[in-house]
Structure 1
Amino acid sequence: MTIKSEHTFECGDSIALKAIQYSARWSEETMCFKANLYWNNKKIAYVENQGRGGENRITPAMPEHRKLFSEIEKKCSDELEDSDLSFWCTEQVAKSVFAKQLKMRVLFKEAGEKGQIIEVSWKGVKKVTSEHVERVRKQHPDATVLNALDFEEAYKVFSTI
């Protein structure tokens, strides 16, 4: 499952986060990550967070890219629902990490309003198959198996717990 970490604005401009590197080991209060930020398919910045609770640091790839940031941040605050550029980047990293989890484990939400997310993995299994998903469905018939949902719907269930 490949997740596109990109958004196209009404005017046709696009923003994308690529080469996302995430470290669960170094994530304390926030996600520890590094990534490249692209504007209309040109790398314009590096985005990183050290995972210690601070804000994302967005550093222009070239000095002349600084001018673009006020334009980009305005477009993000105007068009991205309840978001700004930094938050959007964090959300894309979170989606990337979630997509990797879905590849390696079966995730399901227990039945009921206060149901928790449970993950099931198998020793030696690096990629879950439909057989793994069906096994969990049979064992937990009332649960919502996130691997069986559309990615955006699964992410919404996962992120609202």
Structure 2
Amino acid sequence: MKIELKAIQYAAFSSEETNCYSASLTIDGRKIGTVGNDGHGGPDRFDGDRAAFAAADAWCKANLPKWTGHDGTPRDTDLEFHCGQLVEDWLIARDLKTALRTKVVMRDPADGCLYEVKHRKRVEATIAGVLRQHPGAVILNTLPFAEALTLYRAATSP
């Protein structure tokens, strides 16, 4: 089952305890409704085909990996939790795309941290300068986006 959020609208200013967002929820390419959260710590709300939502929720609980709560108890990944993860993934990808537009993003092999250098529309020259100063650095701008995203996520996740 392919579960996707499309047309995500995110409001950072209103995100307090949870992400404030709204999106179209699609299952196997078919829109079943909209999902969202007000950002104040409450559950997600869903409007649309309740039967399709229940089927997707049951599928998530049966097929997605469990996660561990603060008390150490393993919990099922329900559709609401999965949608929250999809929003987080979208935010990380958006942040990387923004950084790559104006900066050279490199991963230093010595400490594994990411560093950003503004390229001022001189991307190749900036990359060459970074590589002179940091031989062996991995330049995320030169990688396929999926690979760059994996490195970016690993370095920016707690």
Taking the aligned partners of 1:51 and 1:119, their CA distance within structure 2 comes to 30
Q: 2:84 aligns with which of 90, 93, 115?
A: 90
Q: 2:10 aligns with which of 22, 41, 51?
A: 22
The one-letter code matched in structure 1 to 2:86 is Q
- For residue 74 of structure 1, report the CA deviation from its aligned partner: 1.6
Change (3 A) 1:80 1:155: farther
TM-score by length of structure 2 reads 0.65
- For residue 93 of structure 1, report the CA deviation from its aligned partner: 2.1
Quick check: 1:60 aligned with 2:47? yes
Q: 1:146 aligns with which of 140, 144, 151?
A: 140
Runs of 5+ unmatched residues, structure 1: 1-8
The one-letter code matched in structure 1 to 2:127 is E
Helix, strand or coil: the match of 2:14? coil
Taking the aligned partners of 2:43 and 2:128, their CA distance within structure 1 comes to 40
Q: Corresponding residue for 1:4?
A: none
Taking the aligned partners of 1:91 and 1:133, their CA distance within structure 2 comes to 34
Does the CA contact (< 8 Å) of 1:109 and 1:117 recur in 2?
Answer: yes
Taking the aligned partners of 1:133 and 1:32, their CA distance within structure 2 comes to 37
Taking every aligned residue pair, what percent have the same amino acid on both sides? 34
Taking the aligned partners of 1:27 and 1:116, their CA distance within structure 2 comes to 27
Taking the aligned partners of 2:22 and 2:129, their CA distance within structure 1 comes to 34
Helix, strand or coil: the match of 1:34? strand
Change (3 A) 1:147 1:88: farther
Q: 1:117 aligns with which of 114, 129, 151?
A: 114
- For residue 150 of structure 1, report the CA deviation from its aligned partner: 3.5
Helix, strand or coil: the match of 1:30? coil
Does the CA contact (< 8 Å) of 1:36 and 1:46 recur in 2?
Answer: yes
Change (3 A) 1:136 1:28: farther
State which structure, 1 or 2, has the greater radius of gyration over its C-alpha atoms. 2
Q: Deviations over 1:111-160 (max 9, x none)?
A: 345x333334456x6xxx85377257424434333333343433333333
Helix, strand or coil: the match of 2:109? coil
Aligned residue pair count: 140
Q: Corresponding residue for 2:69?
A: none
The one-letter code matched in structure 1 to 2:45 is I
Helix, strand or coil: the match of 1:51? coil
Question: What are the equivalent positions in structure 2 for 1:27-38 lying under 5 Å apart?
Answer: 27-38=15-26
Taking the aligned partners of 1:17 and 1:133, their CA distance within structure 2 comes to 36
Return the structure number with greater helix share. Answer: 2
Does the CA contact (< 8 Å) of 1:133 and 1:148 recur in 2?
Answer: no
Q: 1:99 aligns with which of 93, 96, 99?
A: 93
